């Protein structure tokens, strides 16, 4: 206590305030997310920030960095071991099991948003409390769910004005992965490679060797450079599944890279894993950069947590990372709840009347600003300026007597005297005219940060061109010719599209009956 008493209390290390001037980014992200996720048929779910520690030790995995090093856990006052959520997935799966959602029509699609906590090293610029958007599709192993989730993540980030590329891989199922892992171990034992790995990776060798593949240490990356690749070990079922996911991404023209070293950090992943990167990062050997979104399939998790075997897939998007990319790239976001009109007053009677006018404007859904605690007109007009309003209404003693009000156009500086009884209608009319002429600017501006001089139509066309671009790269970085050839064969060997399997035939019969 004595240490605090002389000094003001400060933020905990790794925690951050989100100040009002940054809220416009958060507001934009949240409103875009809700719009897009709801459109794709997802339903919102909120799970608690605090859960039993066991949930994450079991669910996230006790060999993961998240649980071993970063879990925020402590004993509560009853001596129960609890943890702040480091991710959403285990909590949502717990809720799925606990509320018997298995009995609903499957699959279920959830989205969540909120803070997550990791007791990470804040020196690395990481926060200990940060925010994630999280989406989960529970109750299907269909590749359609994988493809659709990737598309949703892509569409959401794209709607924020970011240029993106998807990295995708399949890490197989428990049966085909076992063979791969033993081959990987053999490879690492050869030529004394294991000795060259970092301390973490030497530990991973026995507990979770797949993780060695995405170690960020340069020496480890060199060591695993020509390691066997999991795509070559996929069983027929896993291969078919993966092909179907890629085909669907092709159909929707989502650009992706087949990234054979993408395994993700968590124990529970099976089959599809993916990450989405901001595009420019690729130019600078992206492995040291952080993905904006990442996720994958986790067909074993619900059973692991005590539910019935249930396939599922999900992903998370780091909100702080996304916002920092947007700001680095000068992407403008709409100002939210910015007033269009300001009410200024001079004199006691005028203040009383303008106070009422302010309420009437709000009741009409007009965004209105004020500074009633200021007496001087100059101070009030400065405030109106700083709010960047389009119009200021000025009410003085004389206007009260004349039953009029001054309407000042803040752009042109032109002032008009308006009949006081007419003012609400007049303001509504003017705001409507203004808004209809700037709508198309905003669309273009969000996407590309274009300048305003160009004609609206040209801007919108340009934006459409930029979004519609198709590009598919195959394992573009750290690759030798041999790998590329292998991958091209892999891609080239795909099954013909929409081949009927027995299920589909069954479905067709049902459809034909109607
Ligand atoms: Zn398999
Ligand atoms: Zn390593």
**Which one of the ligands is nearest to 188 CA?**
2
pLDDT tens-place string over residues 100-138: 999 999 999 999 999 999 998 776 667 999 999 999 999
> Which pLDDT score, from 0 to 100, does residue 205 have?
83
Gap from CA of 105 to ligand 2 centroid (Å): 43
Peptide bond into 248 cis (omega under 30): no
Instruction: Work out the percent of the chain whose per-residue pLDDT is above 70.
Output: 80
Task: Give the model's pLDDT for residue 390.
Answer: 93
Take residue 37 and report the two structure tokens written for it. Answer: 């996720």
CB atoms within 10 A of CB 321: 18
**Residue 472, pLDDT above cutoff 80:** no
Partners of 135 in beta bridges? 111, 315
CA of 304 to the centre of ligand 1 (A): 19
- Going by pLDDT thresholds of 50, 70 and 90, the confidence category of residue 467 is very low
From CA 406, how far away is CA 429, in angstroms rounded?
Answer: 16
Rounded to whole angstroms, how far apart are CA atoms 309 and 315? 20
pLDDT in tens, 362-421: 999 999 999 999 888 999 999 999 999 999 999 999 999 999 999 999 988 899 999 999
- DSSP-derived secondary structure letter, 463: H
Q: How far is the CA of 208 from the centre of ligand 1 (A)?
A: 18
CA 225 to ligand 2 centroid distance, Å:
12
**Residues within 5 Å of ion ligand 2, judged at the Cβ atom:** 198, 201, 215, 217, 220
Higher pLDDT, 482 or 191: 191
Distance 200 CA to ligand 2 centre (A): 6
Please give all residues whose CB falls under 5 A of ion ligand 1, grouped by chain where several chains appear: 172-173, 176, 235, 238
- In the block, residue with structure tokens 């041999």: 482
Sheet containing 404-409, strands listed edge to edge, beginning at the edge strand earlier in sequence:
368-370, 341-345, 391-395, 404-409, 415-419
- Look at the chain and count its residues: 514
CA of 211 to the centre of ligand 2 (A): 8
Q: What is the pLDDT of residue 266?
A: 65
Taking the centre of ligand 1 as the mean of its atom positions, its distance from the CA of residue 480, in whole angstroms, is: 26
For 363-421, give the DSSP string. HTT--EEE-TT---HHHHHHHHHHHT-SEEEEE-HHHHHHTEEEEEETTT--EEEEEGG
Tens-digit pLDDT profile for residues 46-87? 999 999 999 999 888 887 778 888 999 999 999 999 999 999
Please tell me the number of the ligand nearest to residue 239's CA. Answer: 1
Phi, psi of 258 (to 5 degrees): -80, 110
Burial 269-292 (b: 16+ CB within 10 A, else e): bbbbbbbbbbeebbeeebeeebbb
Q: How far is the centre of ligand 1, averaged over its atoms, from the C-alpha of 266 (Å)?
A: 18
Q: What percent of the chain has pLDDT over 90?
A: 53
Work out the mean pLDDT of the chain and round it to a whole number: 82
Using the predicted structure, report yes or no on whether residue 482 has a pLDDT greater than 60.
no
Q: How far apart are CA 376 and CA 381, in angstroms?
A: 9
Rounded to whole angstroms, the Cα distance separating 317 from 206 reads 30
Better-predicted residue by pLDDT, 336 or 452: 336
For residues 428 and 452, which has the higher predicted lDDT (pLDDT)?
Answer: 428
**pTM, to two decimals:** 0.78
Any idea what the Cα angle at residue 471 is, between residues 25 and 236, rounded to 5°? 105
Of all ligands present, the nearest one to the C-alpha of 209 is 2
**Strand ranges (E), 101-145:** 108-117, 129-138
Distance CA 298, CA 281 (A): 28
Which is more confident, 498 or 186?
Answer: 186
Average pLDDT over residues 467-489: 41
Q: What is the DSSP letter of 227?
A: -
Q: Binning pLDDT at 50, 70 and 90, where does residue 444 land?
A: very low
pLDDT at 451 over 70: no
Binding residues for L-histidine, by number, are 87-89, 118, 132, 136, 264, 268-269
Element (H, E) at 317: strand 312-318
Q: In angstroms, rounded to a whole number, what is the distance separating the alpha carbons of residues 29 and 336? A: 12
User: Residue 234 Cα, ligand 2 centroid: separation in angstroms?
Assistant: 25
- For residue 291, the model assigns a pLDDT of 87
Report d(CA 245, CA 156) in Å as an integer. Answer: 19
Ligand 1 centroid from CA 395, angstroms: 75
Q: Which ligand is nearest to the CA of 211?
A: 2
Return the closest-CA partner of residue 327 out of 22, 43, 119.
Answer: 22
The kind and range of the H/E element at 354 are helix 348-363
pLDDT surpasses 80 at 214: no
The model's pLDDT over 231-282, given as tens digits with 9 standing for 90+, comes to 888 999 999 999 999 999 999 999 998 888 888 766 678 899 999 998 874 4
d(CA 240, ligand 1 centre) in Å: 10
CA of 198 to the centre of ligand 2 (A): 4
Cα-based angle 394, 396, 397 (whole degrees, multiple of 5): 165
DSSP of 46-60: ---SEEEHHHHHHHT
Q: Output the pLDDT for position 53.
A: 95
pLDDT computed for residue 213 by the predictor: 83
Task: Calculate mean pLDDT across residues 150-160.
Answer: 96
Ordered structural domains, the chain, with CATH: 2-173+235-328 (3.30.930.10), 341-465 (3.40.50.800)
Q: Which ligand is nearest to the CA of 233?
A: 1
């Amino acid at each position: 206590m004595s240490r605090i008493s002389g000094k003001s209390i400060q933020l905990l290390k790794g925690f951050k305030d989100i100040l009002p001037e940054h809220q416009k980014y958060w507001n934009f992200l949240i409103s875009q997310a809700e719009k897009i996720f709801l459109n794709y048929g997802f339903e919102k779910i909120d799970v608690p920030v605090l859960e039993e520690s066991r949930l994450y030790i079991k669910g996230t995995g006790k060999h993961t960095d998240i649980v071993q090093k970063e879990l925020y856990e402590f004993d509560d006052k009853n001596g129960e071991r609890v943890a702040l959520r480091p991710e959403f997935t285990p909590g949502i799966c717990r809720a799925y099991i606990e509320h018997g959602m298995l009995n609903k029509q499957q699959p279920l699609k959830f989205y969540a948003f909120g803070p997550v906590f990791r007791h990470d090293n804040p020196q690395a610029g990481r926060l200990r409390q940060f925010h994630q958007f999280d989406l989960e599709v529970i109750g299907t192993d269909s590749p359609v769910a994988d493809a659709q989730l990737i598309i949703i993540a892509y569409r959401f980030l794209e709607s924020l004005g970011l240029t993106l590329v998807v990295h995708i891989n399949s890490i197989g199922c428990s049966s085909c992965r076992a063979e791969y892992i033993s081959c990987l171990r053999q490879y690492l034992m050869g030529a004394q490679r294991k000795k060259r790995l970092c301390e973490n990776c030497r530990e991973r060798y026995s507990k979770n060797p797949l993780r060695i593949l995405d170690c960020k240490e340069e020496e480890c990356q060199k060591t695993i450079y020509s390691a066997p690749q999991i795509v070559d070990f996929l069983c027929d079922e896993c291969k078919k599944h993966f092909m179907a996911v890629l085909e669907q991404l092709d159909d929707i023209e989502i650009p992706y890279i087949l990234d054979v070293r993408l395994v993700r950090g968590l124990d529970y992943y099976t089959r599809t894993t993916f990450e989405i990167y901001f595009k420019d990062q690729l130019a600078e050997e992206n492995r040291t950069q952080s993905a904006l979104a990442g996720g994958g399939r986790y067909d074993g998790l619900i059973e692991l947590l005590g539910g019935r075997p249930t396939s599922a897939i999900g992903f998370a998007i780091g909100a702080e990372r996304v916002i920092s990319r947007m700001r680095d790239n000068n992407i403008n976001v709409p100002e939210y709840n910015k007033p269009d009109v300001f009410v200024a007053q001079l004199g006691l009677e005028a203040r009383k009347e303008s106070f009422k006018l302010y309420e009437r404007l709000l009741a009409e859904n007009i965004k209105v600003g004020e500074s009633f605690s200021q007496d001087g007109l100059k101070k009030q007009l400065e405030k109106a300026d700083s709010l960047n309003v389009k119009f200021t209404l000025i009410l003085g003693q004389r206007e009260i007597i004349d039953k009029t009000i001054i309407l000042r156009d803040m752009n042109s500086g032109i002032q008009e005297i308006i009949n006081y009884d007419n003012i609400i209608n007049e303001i509504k009319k003017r705001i409507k005219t203004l808004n209809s002429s700037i709508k198309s600017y905003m669309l273009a501006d969000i996407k590309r940060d274009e300048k305003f001089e160009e004609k609206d139509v040209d801007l919108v066309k340009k934006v459409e061109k930029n979004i519609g671009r198709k590009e598919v790269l195959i394992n573009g970085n750290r690759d030798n010719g041999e790998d590329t050839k292998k991958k091209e064969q892999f891609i080239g060997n795909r099954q013909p599209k929409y081949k009927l399997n027995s299920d589909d035939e069954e479905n067709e019969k049902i459809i034909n009956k109607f």
